[in-house]
Structure 1
Amino acid sequence: MVVLTVTFFCSSLVANGANQAHNTNQKDKIVVRLPRSRGRITLRGTIINYTGSSILIRSSVNASVKEFPTSSVVKVSTSHVAPYLQGMTFFSQKKYLQATRSFEKAIQQEDRKWVRREILAMLVRCALQAGDDRVASSRFLTLTESDAETFYFHLIPLQWTPSPLGNLSRLNGLAWLQNKSATTRLLGASRLLLDEKYGQFATTEMKALATNIDRRIRSYARMQLWRLELQHPKKLTKFQLERWRKEIERTPSSYRAGGWYLLGMAYSYKREYEQSATAFLWLPLVYDQDKFLAARSCYEGAESLLQIGKKHEAKILLQEVVKRFGETPAAQEAAIALKKLQQR
């Protein structure tokens, strides 16, 4: 019920933007790279739409509409309603509840559909930082319904660590598995992949998604399947782990966090602790958009370093988990580990 309510709330907000009059006096600015050259051009006018595939801008000079591929966009400048700016301030201060309230006000006041998607992405980030996967998933799916090629796809709240499923999460996962959208099925398969009752159903779907035409979905699905292989760590070989590493490095940078975490776990199971620590540290150092996963990865990295006698380095990492990710379960474990280190 919670998820359905949030989905309806967000969907109506995104959809309503299309029915409101666009502010034709809006002065936006974009910088784009010229094709087959190192040159850049700056255009001013009104952005009509901005998706994962292209940007449309109406020139302030002659009112002509120009379209550029999103891949060529260097910078976008626009104005924002006051609640959005306040939300960004709260978010930078890690006040995620206040940020959520501000962004919800902003999305009600904003009449540009492409900016509403930007605000919705911030609401996804807030839910992720708060550890609310149900709300994050619902809002993420609303975002992809509005723009299937969204450049915020890396925010998809997939399951990477073993976690118990509540009844509502299980029901949502099952419903998502039967959806027409490949993105929605990916979320459902991720939730239920290790579930005793629906795990086989989820595995079949995840294997199908691993051949999906959409590279983003295909890459995530392939890495998600490693979770199954980690259930039998003794069968893992060095060749497999090297293949995983190469797969991660071929994956777009913003999608690599979960893969590095799973590779770290695999190396840890194989007692190759130096390599496991190296893999784990990618998350707190580079890919920390999911603070719970980054915290867990940082903690596991410290544990790996302890296994090879690097107590000083491990202590620094444990302190980092406590200080930087204080509201996560990993921080509680890190605090206990630090006390044990001090007693030695």
Structure 2
Amino acid sequence: MFAPKAHAPRAPQMATPVVACCWALLTVLSANIACAEDTVVYRSTNAPGKTTQKTGEVIDFNGLELRLLQTNGRETAIATERILRVKTPKTRAHLQGNQLYAAHQFQEALRHYAQAIREEQRTWVRRQILVQQIWCARNLGQIEVAGDQFTLVLLKSDPQTQYFDAIPLAWSPQAVSGAREQRAQKWLAADQPASKLLGASWLLSTNQQATAVATLRQLATAKDKRIALLAEAQTWRTQVITARETDVARWQQVIAATPAELQGGPLYVLAKAQQRLGRSDQAALSYLRLPILFPNNRPLAASALLAAGDTLAPSHPADARQMYQELVRDYAETSQAANAKQQLAKLKDESKE
């Protein structure tokens, strides 16, 4: 999928003047995209707090480094962890896909991203488009598709990917269909640690929980700290009902050591434990970090908003009402929005009593 592509195709023979003109225009546009400069902004190593900006052509951008061919002909390698942003030209389909994604029209966004993948020649940009496809699939509930794209395509192209947060792990309680359980078993049986992590996360809610927990405990010692930390956090899902204050304190330390972009799921489990221990205000704050800091994962953000409202409803009904209203307004496509409507009606009835 990410093999190098040929540049501009030849125009078809015997083309009409209109077709020839359009083909020429497309060739020019493609050339402009290929030749346009990229701008990279990154943290300086010799001046803490300051940034550096360079222009040129990004040759590759993966989980380890960004390689930039500068306008003076010099090639520079910059560690990915130092990269703040990259400005690069995008095809029309790519831009339209991004606009539709921002509008939460994920099915339409997928169609444009598929076209963008076909048109894009740069491997590193095609990986970025793939990541957006994975998020679309996740938000549409297409976990099997998202999981295969992540493990079989993205990680094979870039094993150290900086987009590891796109892995579609299970965090909230939900039923696992037979088809999803079968796919999870395949993920679990794979050699790839990330695939095992993915499979175990979905099998935790099935009758194969013991096998899943054993796998997660093994992965908690993995060399890849991302996998190790997420695997440990996944085991918390089975401990929420028995967790004590000391457990919650330890979980908070683990979350603090986890890369910021991977903290969403663990925060959700932490909030559930805080809620069970009667720490309503702290639980609500933990829940609310998800829609604010991790908006890409809309199903989990919606679950967190609903849980925050349920947590606050007994003691702070006005705050709970605000959570439910936000859920109905901003997450209308989710099942949690329907639950929020019911809770709003319940609060309204209680206020009349």
TM-score normalized by structure 2? 0.87
- Aligned mates of 2:229, 2:203 — CA distance in 1: 18
- In structure 1, the gaps of 5 or more residues are 1-11
Aligned equivalent of 2:337: 331
- Aligned mates of 1:49, 1:225 — CA distance in 2: 36
- Aligned mates of 1:20, 1:168 — CA distance in 2: 38
> Of 54, 61, 64, which residue of structure 2 is paired with 1:53?
64
Instruction: Please give the per-residue CA displacement for 1:124-149, whole angstroms capped at 9, x wherever unaligned.
Output: 12112222212221222221221111
Aligned equivalent of 1:5: none
Structure showing greater radius of gyration is 2
Aligned equivalent of 1:217: 227
**Contact 1:194–1:228 (CA under 8 A) maintained in structure 2:** no
Shift of 1:319: 0.6
Task: Determine if the alignment matches structure 1 residue 247 to structure 2 residue 258.
Answer: no
Aligned equivalent of 1:306: 313
Task: Please list, as runs of the form range in 1=range in 2, the aligned pairs for 1:191-270 lying within 5 A after superposition.
Answer: 191-196=202-207, 198-230=208-240, 233=241, 235-270=242-277
User: Could you tell me which amino acid in structure 2 is paired with residue 310 of structure 1?
Assistant: H
Change (3 A) 1:32 1:280: closer
SS in 2 for 1:164: coil
> Of 294, 307, 314, which residue of structure 1 is paired with 2:301?
294
- Aligned mates of 1:52, 1:153 — CA distance in 2: 9
Task: Determine if the alignment matches structure 1 residue 280 to structure 2 residue 266.
Answer: no
- Aligned mates of 1:205, 1:74 — CA distance in 2: 35
- Aligned mates of 2:265, 2:192 — CA distance in 1: 22
Aligned-residue RMSD, C-alpha: 1.7
- In structure 2, the gaps of 5 or more residues are 9-30
TM-score normalized by structure 1? 0.89
SS in 1 for 2:176: coil
- Aligned mates of 1:43, 1:268 — CA distance in 2: 48
Aligned equivalent of 1:37: 47
Task: Please list, as runs of the form range in 1=range in 2, the aligned pairs for 1:90-109 lying within 5 A after superposition.
Answer: 90-109=100-119
Aligned equivalent of 2:155: 144
**Contact 2:175–2:205 (CA under 8 A) maintained in structure 1:** no
Task: Determine if the alignment matches structure 1 residue 113 to structure 2 residue 123.
Answer: yes
User: Could you tell me which amino acid in structure 2 is paired with residue 329 of structure 1?
Assistant: S
Moved more, 52-61 or 330-339: 52-61
Moved more, 21-30 or 184-193: 21-30
Paired residues, number: 324
**Contact 2:176–2:205 (CA under 8 A) maintained in structure 1:** no
Instruction: Please give the per-residue CA displacement for 1:173-216, whole angstroms capped at 9, x wherever unaligned.
Output: 111111111111110111112311x2222111110111111111
**Contact 2:174–2:205 (CA under 8 A) maintained in structure 1:** no
User: Could you tell me which amino acid in structure 1 is paired with residue 304 of structure 2?
Assistant: S
